Structure 1
Amino acid sequence: MHAARFRVAGKVQGVWFRASTREQALKLGLRGYAKNLPDGSVEVLAAGAAAAVDALGQWLRVGPPQARVDSVSRVVAEEAQAGRGFEVL
């Protein structure tokens, strides 16, 4: 198992970014969450197979049609922080 924490900046709040991320994560069999941050970015924690986490990371660079992604950062995360399922916080 592998885990990563992403921070996505741009026009990513109020455009169904978190719900769309959850949909993608569940299709990939990932656990974790997506939540809005006070600075207007979205934090995503994803845990699962390394290839699935990488695939979500690639999807985050584009996001849903209404979004505009300016940047995505990624750091290693603790798998235990992912919990069960994939939540929108």
Structure 2
Amino acid sequence: MAKARLQIKISGRVQGVFFRKSACDEAERMGVCGYVRNLINGDVEIVCEGEEVSLSQFLGWCRQGPPMARVTKVDTKKLPATGEYKHFFVE
């Protein structure tokens, strides 16, 4: 299976609703590595790597988020995998 890297920007009510912690839990469960962080404009950014199938599933989760979140927009950019991440963490 091919590995890939995604840069994901999530907009909506995504800060203060446990989005980062939930994303970390979901990524680890799916075998996805990388990080999640809050942006100053209220969005959340995720940079992640893994098998394309796992990334697709994780992206599906990101479109919904945790129960208290309200995702209004998800922008993604596919990049070549670098292998720099060994686990998923909150930055």
* TM-score bin, normalised by smaller chain: over 0.9
Structure 1 segments of 4+ aligned residues over 6 angstroms from their partners:
none
TM-superposed deviation, 1:79: 2.4
Name which of 41, 44, 69 aligns with 1:39: 41
Q: Tell me the SS of whatever aligns to 1:87.
A: strand
The share of aligned pairs that are identical, in percent, is 33
**Compared CA separation, residues 81 and 33, structure 1 to 2 (3 A):** farther
Does the CA-based 8 Å contact 1:11-1:67 persist in structure 2?
A: yes
Q: TM-score of the superposition, structure 1-length normalised?
A: 0.94
Structure 2: stretches of 5+ with no match in the other structure: none
Q: TM-score of the superposition, structure 2-length normalised?
A: 0.92
TM-superposed deviation, 1:76: 1.4
Structure 1 partner of 2:82: 80
* Residues matched between the structures, number: 89
Structure 1: stretches of 5+ with no match in the other structure: none
CA RMSD across the alignment: 1.2
